[in-house]
């Protein structure tokens, strides 16, 4: 049994741009690749075709040497004096991160958080299609959330299969999260993102990520406090 928290975890067998399995990319580098991708997509939207490693590093908030090392994991080195071709590199990183797949996301829990996530328009442009939202409360089932209608969690397995959902977000109370997670996994979904404030257990081979804003705020508070302490630099 494995249980992961929001600490970046090793990502095995990421495919390279050609779709063949590549060697494992260190978790911290995977996290930074998402930053580079975001910066590259901003450049693309601005019509910029080439970028130097220094500029891309600056836009991503990392050093040039870190950027070059991270990009070497996806086999993309750029050309000295010419830099990186923005569209090519963006596609290359997206492929390495598995973002060229068709991800269909189902949300379980149509409360404050679940509804906000379902209504957020920014997932689709990044390749994540929200295809279903569930709740157990019969006052909520059948309600419209964005363009979706809330399904009864009693029909979880049927709707997951019908919609082809391959990722599930848990926006549920802690007390029910493990039971729902078990059903999701038994239904064949192997990627779960949980907002529930509880440690979940999943079988080997299932990727579980936990988002915990309170922990992130505590880490931020720690750094802020250190920065304010006499003799410390930010
Ligand atoms: N990780 C974070 O940063 C973060 C931030 C905010 C909230 N949360 C957590 O996310 C969860 C949702 O928060 P919220 O504010 O949306 O709560 P909420 O009470 O508004 O929504 C929870 C929803 O889950 C539904 N539900 C309860 N049992 C269910 C079941 N067995 N199957 C399906 N649906 C069920 C409820 O009917 C309700 O609609 C909570 O556990 C909360 O603590 C985490």
Residue with tokens 């019969």: 138
ipTM here: 0.97
Q: What is the pLDDT of residue 114?
A: 97
Q: How far, in Å, from the CA of 211 to the mean position of ligand 1?
A: 13
**What is the residue with the minimal CA distance to atom 37 of ligand 1?**
137
**CATH number of domain containing 175:** 3.40.50.720
Q: Confirm whether 127 is domain-assigned.
A: yes
Determine what percent of the chain is predicted with pLDDT higher than 90.
Answer: 62
Domain that holds residue 209: 103-214
Tell me: do 109 and 83 sit in the same domain.
no
- DSSP state string for 54-109: HHHHHHHTS-HHHHHHHHHHTT---BTTTBEEHHHHHHHHHHHTTTTS-EEEEEE-
* pLDDT exceeds cutoff 60 at 232: no
Nearest C-alpha to atom 4 of ligand 1 is from which residue? Answer: 195
Residue closest via CA to ligand 1's atom 40 equals 173
* Residue 15: both structure tokens together: 């495919």
**Mean per-residue pLDDT for 38-64?**
93
Which CATH number goes with the domain that contains 40? 1.10.10.10
Please determine, for residue 15, whether its predicted confidence score (pLDDT) is greater than 60. Answer: no
Residues of the chain with pLDDT > 70, as a percent, come to 87
State yes or no: pLDDT of 106 exceeds 80: yes
Contact assessment for residue 177 and residue 170, using Cβ atoms and an 8 Å cutoff = yes
Same domain, 91 and 116: no
Same domain, 40 and 126: no
| Same-domain check for residues 141 and 115 | yes
Return the structure tokens found at 33.
């690749």
Angle value at C-alpha 137, between 134 and 138, nearest 5 degrees:
100
pLDDT in tens, 111-163: 999 999 999 988 887 788 999 999 999 999 999 998 899 999 999 999 999 99
User: How much is the pLDDT for 23?
Assistant: 65
- The answer to whether position 158 is within a domain reads yes
The pLDDT of residue 77 is: 66
The answer to whether residue 48 is domain-embedded is yes
Nearest atom of ligand 1 to the alpha carbon of 196: 41
Annotated binding residue 96: no
75 is in an annotated binding site: no
């Amino acid at each position: 049994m494995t249980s992961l928290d929001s600490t970046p975890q090793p990502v095995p067998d990421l495919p390279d741009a050609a779709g063949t399995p590549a060697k494992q990319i260190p978790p911290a580098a995977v996290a930074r690749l998402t930053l580079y991708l975001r910066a590259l997509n901003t450049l693309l939207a601005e019509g910029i075709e080439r970028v130097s490693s220094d500029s891309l590093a600056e836009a991503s908030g990392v050093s040039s040497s870190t950027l070059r090392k991270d990009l070497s994991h996806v086999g993309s080195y750029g050309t000295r004096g010419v830099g990186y071709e923005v569209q090519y590199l963006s596609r290359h990183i997206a492929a390495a991160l598995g973002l060229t797949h068709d991800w269909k996301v189902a949300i379980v829990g149509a409360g404050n958080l679940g509804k906000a996530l379902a209504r957020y328009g920014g997932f689709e442009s990044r390749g994540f299609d929200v295809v279903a939202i569930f709740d157990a409360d019969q006052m909520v089932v059948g309600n419209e959330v964005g363009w979706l209608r809330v399904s009864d969690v009693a029909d979880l397995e049927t709707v997951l299969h019908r919609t082809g959902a391959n990722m599930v977000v848990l926006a549920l109370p802690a007390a029910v999260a493990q039971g729902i997670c078990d059903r999701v996994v038994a239904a064949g979904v192997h990627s779960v993102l949980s907002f529930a404030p509880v440690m979940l257990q999943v079988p080997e081979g299932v990727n579980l990520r936990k988002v915990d804003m309170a922990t992130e705020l505590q880490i931020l508070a720690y750094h802020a406090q250190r920065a304010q302490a006499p003799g410390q630099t930010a």
